[in-house]
Structure 1
Amino acid sequence: MSNPALEDPTYRTGVIELLGLLAAGEIGAWMRLAEDAAMAPDLRTTTEIGAMATSEFGHFAQLRDHLVALGEDPYARMEPFRSTFDAFHVKTRPSDWLEGLVKAFVFDGLAADFYREIAAFLDAETRELVLDTMSGTGSSEFVVDAVRGAIEADPRVGGRLALWGRRLMGEALSQAQMVVAERDDLSALLVGGVDSPGMDLAAIGRMFTRLTEAHAERMAKLGLAS
């Protein structure tokens, strides 16, 4: 695959790391949603969650195939991030199908926002791939209806899920900050992108503020206080 931007070895390494991170996140989301589907209370909900899982796998396949086209082993590029995602999922294991839905909604939205921020510093071809794979699972309406319906049926559910959403956001932000801090080549994408001068520390702080604000808006859609 010919992409002149990837001729810069430092930039290429950062892009490959980013794609490996994305792929690891997508395959992890697929696995967790498949588990959540088993907790669903009825066939319709099982099917909807299964469709969400299928969408995540499709995104993974796009990233995997792109890495292969770049001459990379996608599984080797995903491996460094496996323990990070495993640790996150262990800390945020849902106790029921509603917590699973909120987790998928919150984490999918946060991941999409985070990677869209990074995409601003990528070359056009890589940016298009990242934005396409972060385009969502098409399940937002189902999740919002299901959560709001559960709260309407039992208002006590709202308090529990609001606390759960705050916990998820805290864990997810910690994970994102850790990944950026620990992966030098990924950090290089943020501080010195292809199509822009990149971010300084203050700008990175403002980015995380925007992520937090977007999370609050998503929680409001669910009928939950952030």
Structure 2
Amino acid sequence: MNETPPGVVDLLGVLAYAELTAFLRLAEDAALLAPSLTDRAALGDVAAAEYGHFRLLRDRLASLGVDSEEAMAPFVDAIDAWHEQTKPSDWYEALVKAYVGTGIAGDFYREAARHADPSVTELVEEVLADEVRSAFTVDRVRAAIEQDPRLSGRLALWARRMVGEALSQGQRLAAARPDLAVLLVEPGSEDLAEIGRLFARLTEAHGKRMSALGLTPGP
């Protein structure tokens, strides 16, 4: 425990709670918003994968001598607030949130993991792998937009809201947890320059997700 940098414990803790809540919210969306049993089962599979990721993080924390409950506790309010502020009103908003909103939040964690121990970086990359979620959401959203092009504008606005809320959440977490914030900046670099590069990478990744969905990234 003493040899584990506090920022790494924070990173694993915030990611563990993010994965746990993703599982719970996706399962809820599958039950309440899915238009068919096939869609319900498919989103349920995504939720199950998120729970598997949570277990990996919980086990890694335990191997470090860290209680997962204590590691997650500082991030509960912020992540719960983000979910409440971005509660989808229909099936397609739920899909966009699962792909775009969760995606940009994951980009923050990837950036932090770049400056951690290689074993931590590898675990974070495994946990944030989104091939299943990507294939599922992209196929369904693109098909829906082809059927009703008017859906594109509404979902693009919703996606931009996801990003705004995720970035605000990331800034609040970084301000509240300085050890986690340190992982976001390359040691020895000029902070402002590195932060600029960080946001450029986040913006680029977001643009790729929007394009994959057939949506305009917007300003």
TM-score (norm 2): 0.92
Q: Distance in 1 between matches of 2:185 and 2:134?
A: 32
Q: Give the Å deviation of 1:191.
A: 4.0
Which position in structure 1 is the counterpart of 2:210? 219
1:130 has 2:111 as partner: no
Q: Percent identity?
A: 53
1:184 has 2:178 as partner: yes
Which position in structure 2 is the counterpart of 1:29? 22
1:45 has 2:39 as partner: yes
Determine if contact 2:46/2:133 at 8 Å carries over to the other structure: yes
Q: Give the Å deviation of 1:202.
A: 2.1
Q: Give the Å deviation of 1:137.
A: 5.2
Q: Distance in 2 between matches of 1:128 and 1:199?
A: 26
Q: Which runs of 5+ in 1 are unaligned?
A: none
Deviations along 1:24-55, whole A, 9 cap, x unmatched? Answer: 11011111101110210001111111011011
Deviations along 1:134-157, whole A, 9 cap, x unmatched? Answer: 122512122111001111111111
Determine if contact 1:52/1:137 at 8 Å carries over to the other structure: no
Which position in structure 1 is the counterpart of 2:151? 157
Deviations along 1:162-217, whole A, 9 cap, x unmatched? Answer: 11001111111111122112211112223465xxx466222112201221221111
Letter in 1 for 2:193: A
Deviations along 1:65-112, whole A, 9 cap, x unmatched? Answer: 111111111011101101001110111000011100000001232133
Q: RMSD of the TM alignment (CA)?
A: 1.7
Q: Distance in 1 between matches of 2:185 and 2:111?
A: 12
* Counterpart pick for 2:99 among 97, 105, 115: 105
Determine if contact 1:101/1:143 at 8 Å carries over to the other structure: yes
Letter in 1 for 2:203: T
Determine if contact 1:121/1:198 at 8 Å carries over to the other structure: no
Which position in structure 1 is the counterpart of 2:77? 83
Q: Distance in 2 between matches of 1:123 and 1:181?
A: 22
Aligned length: 216
Which position in structure 2 is the counterpart of 1:206? 197
SS of 1:72 mapped into structure 2: coil
Q: Distance in 2 between matches of 1:157 and 1:113?
A: 26
